[in-house]
Copies of this chain bind each other. A is one copy, B any other.
Amino acid sequence: MKHRDCNVNTARQENARVIVHERVNGSEGLCLHTTVNKLPKAGEVSVRIQAAGLNHRDLFIMKERSDLHQSVVLGSDGAGIVASVGEGIEHIQVGDEVIIHPTLNWVHTNEIPETLTILGYPSEGTFAEYVVVPVTCIEKKPAYLTWEEAGVLPLAALTAYRALFTRGQLKSGEHVLITGIGGGVATYAFMMAKAAGAKVTVTSRSQEKRLRALEVGADHVLASDCDWGESLHGEPVNLIIDSIGPAVFTQFLQVLAPGGRVVQFGRSSGDKVEISLSTLFRNQYSILATSMGSAEEFREMLQFVERHRIRPVIDQIYPLEQAVQAFKRMEAGVQFGNIGLKM
């Protein structure tokens, strides 16, 4: 990722700073621009962002999108203050403190859209001083969270909530195994599972992250490459939350209890896994894939984190203009918890 010098528009009162991903002169990277501040249309609100969070999704888009002739304002997570309100909106006022639900076209949990539309690409995202979103995508910011905490919460906490509860049907007293602790979703899943009364085992390649997880209350920690079945001493696992995939998948079937569930929301080690159907149905296993969450689940998640006073683990917060440094840290994979931007 390169930070290039860019043409910055002349600042004026109605302008706002944004971070864009763009290609200029054959090389692409992140760039600080100043653009004209858009006004909300009917049914929309403009939010003055106070803090925003980075997600792996942003990295994937930068690496994989093919429409590089277009400048894109990335960013799915954010929290801020309502700056202006479009026509037809009565329950939201200028000055309200809000947190943004990033899954723009998914309202009811059971009505999964064909393709999810996520704030930040192709629509303009939260790495900006102002963002315009549908009013259905904002909720009251939980008062106990700081701006930084609220800003990094949405997408990862929503994904973790849906994975654990809607998909994984976690119950108190069950044993959950969460792979790749330190990542955003895994870290929320860890805190939520503990809050729900589960026993939680986490895995990581990094000894530092494993020790950190023990400090914050993990019941067991496992190295990614040890024999999990042996290390767990026959304490079978009811639910696995995974985004690693093939590198660890064969271990899952060694540790799951009858009726065990694997909830899959990523595949950082590759895409293809081979499964034995007889192993699956002899043990009544479930493989449940999940991605993001609905507006309904976003509201449930906010109630859950507020009830349990769950606070995001903040790894580091950078000023908006240091977005490149923030992404370098995420790419290096050394963080424990969330990386954010402050406007």
Contacts A284-B291, A287-B287, A291-B284 given; does A277 touch B245 at CB 8 Å: yes
Q: Is A91 an interface residue (CB 8 A)?
A: no
Identical copies in the complex:
2
List, in ascending order, chain B residues with CB within 8 A of A278's CB. Answer: 267, 271
B290 touches A259 (CB 8 A): no
A259: nearest chain-B partner, CB-CB: B112
Q: Mark A262-302, 1 if CB is under 8 A from B, else 0.
A: 00111100011111111011111111111100000000000
List, in ascending order, chain B residues with CB within 8 A of A276's CB. Answer: 271-272
| A interface: dominant SS | mixed
Q: Is A258 an interface residue (CB 8 A)?
A: yes
Give Cα A277 to B290, complex, Å.
10
Q: Is A113 an interface residue (CB 8 A)?
A: yes
A284 touches B289 (CB 8 A): yes
Q: Is A215 an interface residue (CB 8 A)?
A: no
Give Cα A286 to B284, complex, Å.
13
Q: Is A90 an interface residue (CB 8 A)?
A: no
List, in ascending order, chain B residues with CB within 8 A of A167's CB. Answer: 286
A282: nearest chain-B partner, CB-CB: B291
Q: Is A114 an interface residue (CB 8 A)?
A: yes
Contacts A273-B275, A289-B286 given; does A266 touch B281 at CB 8 Å: yes
List, in ascending order, chain B residues with CB within 8 A of A287's CB. Answer: 275, 280, 286-288
Q: Distance (Å) between the CB of A335 and the closest chain B CB?
A: 22
Closest 9 CB pairs of A and B: A280-B289, A281-B289, A267-B277, A112-B259, A287-B287, A112-B258, A286-B288, A281-B291, A245-B277
List 19 interface pairs A-B (beta carbons < 8 Å), by A numbering.
Answer: A112-B284, A113-B258, A114-B258, A167-B286, A246-B277, A264-B277, A264-B280, A264-B281, A267-B278, A267-B281, A272-B275, A272-B276, A273-B274, A277-B289, A281-B291, A282-B291, A284-B289, A284-B291, A286-B289
